[in-house]
Copies of this chain bind each other. A is one copy, B any other.
Amino acid sequence: MSDLNKLYEIILSRKTDGDPSVSYVAKLFQKGRGTIAQKVGEEATETIIAALSETAESVAQESADLLFHLCILWAECGVTPKQVMDILANREGISGLIEKENRKI
């Protein structure tokens, strides 16, 4: 997977077609936004703890969990990966020619 779009598409398909009895993602959508947000908070905490006291491999594993649940939260809220990436690109001025002028980061 080169970016988050593919993951997001699969998640979206589980939102509409998934069976909560077999799909973890479909079950999360069924439980609702509070539960999904809670998972994002848990995985963020695990990522922080891994960064401070575990291996780089653990940081990568927990970060994968964080991105996975973040994508579910985006799908729940009607946000797309493109929308988020466009904000990053515009904010950091790294889209094309204006890249050189970026001083913020």
Contacts and interface: CB of A to CB of B under 8 A. Distances in A.
Interface of A: 1-7, 10-11, 14, 22-25, 33-34, 36-38, 40-42, 44-49, 51-54, 56, 59-61, 63-64, 66-68, 70, 73-74, 76-79, 83-89, 91-92, 94-95, 103-105
Given A1-B88, A7-B92, A47-B73, 4 more contacts: A24-B105, A37-B45, A51-B77, A63-B73
A23 B105 contact: yes
Q: How many copies make up the complex?
A: 4
Nearest to A2: B3
A52 B41 CA distance: 13
A104 B64 CA distance: 15
A48 B49 contact: yes
A2 to B, nearest CB: 5
15 contacts: A1-B95, A2-B85, A10-B92, A37-B48, A38-B46, A41-B44, A42-B45, A45-B48, A48-B49, A52-B52, A56-B78, A59-B73, A63-B84, A68-B88, A68-B92
